Structure 1
Amino acid sequence: MKAMIGYDLMETIRSTNEWMGATARAMASSPAWGLAPHPMFQMMAAWGRVAERSFSRMVMKPDWGIRAITMEDGTDHLVEEETLLSKPFCDLIHFKVHGRAAAPRRVLVIAPMSGHYATLARSTVTSLIPDCEVYVTDWKNARDIPVSAGRFDVEDFTLYLIDFIRHLGPDINVVAICQPAPLALAATAVIAEETPEAQPRSLVLIGGPIDPDAADTEVTDFGSRVTLGQLEQTVIQRVGFNYAGAGRMVYPGLMQLASFIAMNADKHIKAFQDEIIAEAKGEASDQDRHNIFYDEYLAVMDMTAEFYLSTVERIFQKAEIGRGTFTLRGRPVDPGRITRTAVFTVEGEKDDITAPGQCIAALDLCTALPEDRKASHLEPGAGHYGIFAGKSWRNHIRPILLDFFDKFSAPVSEVQPKTPTRRSRRAA
């Protein structure tokens, strides 16, 4: 039985580092050192500011911060965040734009639940609001959810998506970013089988591991090297006494963050060294590129142990979606049942997390979907983050998606599907 003290120890280490940063900043910034100026004090104060800010962000949920948007005609409109559905592990939120008519395009952004908050997709959401009615899955930190709320694994995640899509109606365009892509495909398949008329208008899968075996990455290699027993022993902890979820088994956000940073340690170390030097020179600011990125990147959330372990086992190790063997509450889920929803996949040429080939595999799984309702895009030179945020997203991918939404904007009354089969890419 895992003790809760391990979780509290991690939090103690984090808070101690935050305190050390604050202490160094306060001490080295004292005016008294002006009597004996020395670069050492500037560097100490700079290190303190960067350390304090970094470690404090690790336990904060970032705010969406979308207060207003400017339309093409130059008018500003206030934006209100409203909750449409609230479930124990996720809220379905809508960004309501005051003073404008409802946008004809309606988009559900399924944010990843892979260690970061949904706000990681803030730039994606912000860029879509001027042209769309935008809805987002705002996943909750597992440490804040009481044990009495029950468990939450990949099947529960899929059921949440089914409820959200059905609630929004068949004219919704679904955009799944990274981790939820395979489960969004599964949710669409379930809806297509149970209530064909409720299928969403389109489904966009961005950098998702539909078939992890299609192209190896460090992530897929890790999934094949370790056993679930090893993961449970090394990374699963019980939430400590300071949170509402005390006693819940989770994969802690702080431990996930250590893994994220270890994947590109040299890059992160250099970024922080450069920021400390910029602080010492007086060239850093709250809104510089480093702080904007790391304020979000360092804000991590806990995942339930069952969700993390079932994701590793069923999505990566067994590749159930790619092999067509995924089940939901004991019932087979067949993407070949999708007959109306237009499916579009987006991949990045230099994506080292979900390599090209993994996401486009979804198109082969949709065996009953007419070819003219399938499309894909490979973004040259883009990495994983770039295909849903940054220059590649803004200049290339976003306009393509808006055109894709418009192409299939008319309701589908009759579609002549191909004969659905259980054939998958692996069997091909």
Structure 2
Amino acid sequence: MKYMTTYDVMESARNTNEWLGATARAMASYPLFALSMNPMLALTAAWGEVTERSFARMVAKPDWGIRSIVGDGGQDHLVDVRTVVEKPFGNLIQFYVRRREPMARKVLLVAPMSGHYATLLRSTVLSLLPDCDVYVTDWHNARDIPVSAGKFDVEDYTLYVVDFMRALGPETNVIAVCQPAPLVLAATAYLAGEDPAAQPRTLTLIGGPIDPDAAATEVTDFGRRITMGQLEQLAIQRVGFKYMGAGRLVYPGLLQLQSFISMNMERHSKAFQEQIVRVARGQASDHDAHNRFYDEYLAVMDMTAEFYLSTVERIFKNREIAKNEFTVAGKRVDIGAITDVAVKTVEGEKDDISAPGQCVAALNLLTGLPASKKASHLEPEAGHYGIFAGKSWRLNIRPLVLSFIDANAPKPKPKIVPAAAAG
């Protein structure tokens, strides 16, 4: 599988399907055919439109699309996306709100590197912006990174998070969503041992596989069944000649997307069938619920082979985080060294990717942290997406996280009133 040809064949298949969709849409929309009452023409044009859009989105990075927010006074504040730290495999960006004083809450949102862009957290960012200064890890697509930039594995990821935390300072409140939860926990522990003053104030871990063996899912079962040799043979390819990262070994986003869809094939098939009917009837729009979701869901990115393989081997198979045996640059990272950072875990009752029990396992590893600085929450009836971007996040989890941040913020110093003024 590790050949450029394989990667290019897969990209050619995607490109062909996009072209077929565009052709079907154009042909079935030919003005002369309007004289016909055959409903198949409208359905063919609708199929073409949905197909073209879907396959085109697979190679396009979505825009954040956050232009403004409403301030306390009812005025709109424009939002700029600024790069704070720039690195080869990912940047630290800030959503800078114009004409607004710095907020009391500074939040670093660590986005997952699991096949989707950081824009998957768009709604999460939007929900936090009115109340927080928000920073996000914006990971790059491995296909666009030249081989000369070197490797990027779980240790490099951890050190990137360490650098981002240092850049923002100790008053930062970190929220890690899904995949990065164990590595963000390790990054905090790394700072506890190497640079305690740079540790964040709070750490919220949402639906992450701290201990994958705590609860079985299809993801953990797959990790147990397959050997690393089989995984490398089946999943790893070299970026083709079309991109800047030509020759780099990657786990292609298109393969990851295939895995995502296969987990809920019936639901996705039904969603696309219904969308085709809506388009044919003229009931769809460019930003309807289907397009808003799938424009993001279908936009996938490649991961470096070393990051993907080391994640499976070290986090899932060897359970280095769960056993507190993780090492970075030859140094063991002791999670028990965290003594001052308040930590909260959030899980969804119906999470089929990181099942309940996997994330809350972090609290048992924090042997040096007092119970008063530990918290956990299990959201009833919530799935994986819902706990960070859906209804459960908006209505319940977000307020709980903000309350947790406030509860661990420094208490304001009492004002000293001069004796003369008091009299």
Q: TM-score w.r.t. structure 2 length?
A: 0.96
| Counterpart residue identity of residue 382, structure 2 | A
Equivalent residue, structure 1, for 2:418: none
Report the CA distance between 1:112 and its aligned residue.
0.2
Report the Cα offset of residue 331 of structure 1.
1.1
Tell me how large the CA RMSD over aligned residues is: 1.1
What residue in structure 1 maps to residue 147 of structure 2? 147
Equivalences, count: 412
Counterpart of 1:349?
Answer: 349
* Corresponding residue number in structure 2 for 1:75: 75
Query: Who is 1:313 aligned against?
Result: 313
Q: Following TM superposition, by how much is the alpha carbon of 1:86 offset from its aligned partner in structure 2, in angstroms?
A: 0.5
The residue identity in structure 2 corresponding to 1:306 is: E
| Counterpart Cα distance in 1 of 2:364 and 2:73 | 42
Equivalent residue letter for 1:160 = Y
Give the whole-Å Cα distance in 2 for the aligned partners of 1:267 and 1:81.
Answer: 35
Q: What is the rounded CA distance, in whole Å, between the counterparts of 2:68 and 2:314 in structure 1? A: 41
Give the drift of 1:26.
Answer: 0.4
Where does residue 190 of structure 1 map in the other structure?
190
Cα deviation, 1:222-277, whole Å, max 9, x if unaligned, reads 00000111111111100000100000000001111011101111111111011011
CA contact (8 A) 1:181 1:209 kept: yes
What are the residue-to-residue correspondences of 1:159-174 with 2, within 5 Å?
A: 159-174=159-174
- Distance (Å, rounded) in 2 between the aligned partners of 1:198 and 1:280: 56
- Paired with 1:233 and 1:103, the residues of 2 have a C-alpha distance of 49
Q: How far does residue 384 in structure 1 lie from its aligned partner after superposition?
A: 0.2
Partners in 2 of 1:330 and 1:199 — Cα distance?
21
Q: How far 1:411 sits from its partner (Å)?
A: 7.8
**Aligned equivalents of 2:38 and 2:229: distance in 1?**
53
User: Mapping of 1:8-407 within 5 angstroms?
Assistant: 8-407=8-407
The residue type paired with residue 201 of structure 2 is R
Letter in 1 for 2:312: V
Distance in 2, Cα, partners of 1:397 & 1:36: 53
- Give deviations 1:259-314, integer Å, cap 9, x for gaps: 11011111111110110111111111111111000000000000000000000000
Task: Return the offset for 1:73.
Answer: 3.2
**1:171 positional shift:** 0.2
1:98-127 Cα deviation digits (max 9, x unpaired)? 011111100000000000000001100111
Question: Does the residue aligned with 1:247 lie in a helix, a strand or coil?
Answer: coil
Aligned-residue offset at 1:72: 3.8
Q: How far apart, CA to CA, are the structure 2 residues paired with 1:238 and 1:411?
A: 53
Q: 1:171 touches 1:411 (CA, 8 Å); kept in 2?
A: no
Contact 1:145 1:245 in 2 (8 A): yes
CA distance in 2, matches of 1:235, 1:291: 29
The letter for the 2-side match of 1:106 is: K
Cα distance between partner residues in 2 of 1:410 and 1:399? 19
Cα distance in 2 for partners of 1:141, 1:133 equals 26
Give 3-state SS (helix, strand or coil) of 1:277's partner.
Answer: helix
SS of the aligned residue for 2:355 comes to: coil
Structure 1 residue 140 displacement after superposition? 0.1
Match of 2:417 in 1: none
TM-superposed CA distance for 1:2, in Å, is: 2.8
1:389-420 CA-to-partner distances (Å, cap 9, x unmatched) read 111101100011111111111189xxxxxxxx
Runs of 4+ in 1 over 4 A off after TM superposition: none
Give 1:193 shift.
1.1
Could you tell me which runs of 5 or more consecutive residues in structure 2 were left unpaired when the two chains were aligned.
413-423
Q: Which residue of 1 aligns with 2:415?
A: none
Partner of 2:408: 408
The whole-number CA distance in structure 1 between the counterparts of 2:327 and 2:43 is 56
Contact kept, 8 Å, 1:192 with 1:199, in 2: the verdict is: yes
> CA-to-partner distance for each residue in 1:163-216, whole Å, 9 max, x for gaps?
000110000000000000000000000101112222110000000000000000
Q: 8 Å contact 1:147–1:246 — kept in the other structure?
A: yes
- Greater alpha carbon shift after TM alignment, 95-104 vs 71-80: 71-80
> Which amino acid in structure 1 is aligned with residue 297 of structure 2?
Y
Q: Distance in 2 between matches of 1:411 and 1:86?
A: 34
Distance 2:69 2:127 in 1: 9
**Which position in structure 2 is the counterpart of 1:423?**
none
Question: What is the alpha-carbon distance in structure 2 between the residues aligned to residue 389 and residue 119 of structure 1?
Answer: 11
Q: Is the 8 A contact 1:349 1:381 kept in 2?
A: yes
Unaligned runs of 5+ in 1: 413-428
For 1:426, the equivalent position in structure 2 comes to none
| Deviation (angstroms), 1:3 | 2.2
Q: Tell me the secondary structure at the aligned position of residue 37 of structure 2.
A: coil
Separation of aligned partners in 1, 2:129 and 2:214: 34
Deviates more, 1:141-150 or 1:28-37: 28-37
Measure, in 2, the Cα distance between the counterparts of 1:355 and 1:71: 37
Aligned-residue sequence identity (percent) comes to 67
